[in-house]
Amino acid sequence: MKLLRYGPPGATRPALLDAQGQVRDLGGLLADITPQTLSAEGLTALRALDPQALPVVLKPGRLDVPWSGLGKFICIGLNYADHAAEAGLPLPSEPVIFMKAISCLCGPTDPTVLPPDSTRSDWEVELGVVIGRTARHVSEADALAHVAGYCVVNDVSERAYQLERGGTWDKGKGCDTFGPVGPWLVTADEVPDPQALDLWLELNGQRMQNGNTRTMVFSVAHIVSYVSRFMTLQPGDLISTGTPPGVGMGIKPNPVYLKPGDQMRLGVAGLGEQTHTVHAWDPALLA
C-alpha cells in the first residue's frame, strides 16, 4: 500500500495510490494520515478497503510529506563505506546518529531554498524508515516488526555549516526545505527486503549517485535496534539511513554544490521519485 497526502500546506488531504497509479482520496474515512494510522491496526483497516470504491483524484497537485505527526527525524551518517571514503572520514564502528529539525520537512516536489549565506549545500538520496510501533531496546531480530513502511528522503546538507562551524552536524542539516520526504509511504509488506533497493540521484540530468542498500555498513534492522537503545522510537518517527557515494562534496578535484536554478531528481526503487528546483533564499518560497 502506498499512502500519501496532497494539497497546499495546511490543507492537505489523505490518499492512497492504487495499483493503476491513480490517487484515491481517503478524506471521507480519515481526517489525516497520522501515527495512529501507521499502527498495525490502522494499516489493517486500510488494507481492508477496496481502492476502487474510493474517489479518484484526477489532479492531486502538490504532494506533502506522506504522514503527519512526525515526531523525530533521525539520521545515520557514513552508512555506506564508499561514501565515508569520499568524505575522507573513517568507517564508523557504530552507527553515527544525528538529527534533522522537524521544521526542515517539505514535500517531494517543493523548492529547495538555500540559506542566505550558503556556499556548500549538497544532496544525499537516502532510504527512509518509518516507525509504526513503539520501539524501546528492541532486538535486531525483532526490529523490522516495528517498521510501518519506507520512503524516499533527500538529506540536503550545508557542508560549511555541518563541518566548519563547530559542534555537531545538526547545524548543516536542519535548514528550511532541507528535508523533503515522499512522494509516498510504502508499507513494509510491499518491501520484503529493505537491503535490496537501488537508489539514485541526478543533478541537471546528470547521474551523480548510484547505489544499493545492500552495501550499507549497518542494516535497517541493526539501525532500528541500535537507535532504540538511546531513545524511544515512536509511531511516525523517521530514520534516514545514509547515502551512497556521489555527493557534491566528494567530487574531485573540484567539489560541486547546489546553486539557484539547479534541478534535482532522485528516487529509490519501488518508493517513487522526487524533483526539486533550487532557489536562492526567499522566505516567500517556504511552506
Q: What is the pLDDT of residue 166?
A: 82
CA distances from 48 to 21, 41, 67, 172 (A): 19, 11, 19, 43
Sheet holding 272-279, edge to edge: 112-113, 272-279, 263-268, 198-203, 206-212
Q: What is the pLDDT of residue 202?
A: 98
Q: What is the pLDDT of residue 87?
A: 79
Whether 156 and 174 have beta carbons less than 8 Å apart is answered as no
* Cα distance between residue 76 and residue 87, in whole Å: 15
Q: How many C-beta atoms lie closer than 10 Å to residue 270's C-beta?
A: 13
Q: Say how far residue 283 (Cα) sits from the centre of its chain.
A: 23
Q: What is the pLDDT of residue 179?
A: 98
* Cα distance between residue 11 and residue 64, in whole Å: 10
**pLDDT tens digits for 91-136?**
889 999 999 999 999 999 999 999 999 999 999 999 999 999 999 9
Q: What is the pLDDT of residue 85?
A: 82
In the DSSP assignment, the letter for residue 30 is: -
287 residues of the chain, pLDDT tens digit each: 999 999 999 999 999 999 999 999 999 999 999 999 999 999 999 999 999 999 999 999 999 999 999 999 999 999 998 887 887 878 889 999 999 999 999 999 999 999 999 999 999 999 999 999 999 999 999 999 999 999 999 999 999 999 888 878 889 999 999 999 999 999 999 999 999 999 999 999 999 999 999 999 999 999 999 999 999 999 999 999 999 999 999 999 999 999 999 999 999 999 999 999 999 999 999 96
Query: Which domains are seen in the chain, by residue range?
Result: 68-282 (3.90.850.10)
Sign of CA dihedral 102, 221, 272, 31: negative
**What's the length of the chain?**
287
Q: What is the pLDDT of residue 242?
A: 97
Cell of 188: 513494509
Whether 100 and 65 have beta carbons less than 8 Å apart is answered as no
Using the structure block, give the residue that is written with the C-alpha cell 519506507.
Answer: 150
Sheet holding 185-187, edge to edge: 56-57, 23-25, 13-17, 2-6, 185-187, 147-154, 125-131, 238-240, 73-77, 96-99
Map 89-156 to HEC letters: CCCCCCCEEEECCHHHEECCCCCEECCCCCCCEECCEEEEEEECCCECCCCHHHHHHHEEEEEEEECC
Map 44-99 to HEC letters: HHHHCCCHHHCCEECCCCCECCCCCCCCCEEEEECCEHHHHHHCCCCCCCCCEEEE
In the DSSP assignment, the letter for residue 1 is: -
**pLDDT tens digits for 237-264?**
999 999 999 999 999 999 999 999 999 9
Q: What is the pLDDT of residue 287?
A: 67
Q: What is the pLDDT of residue 169?
A: 86
Q: What pTM value is reported for the model? A: 0.96
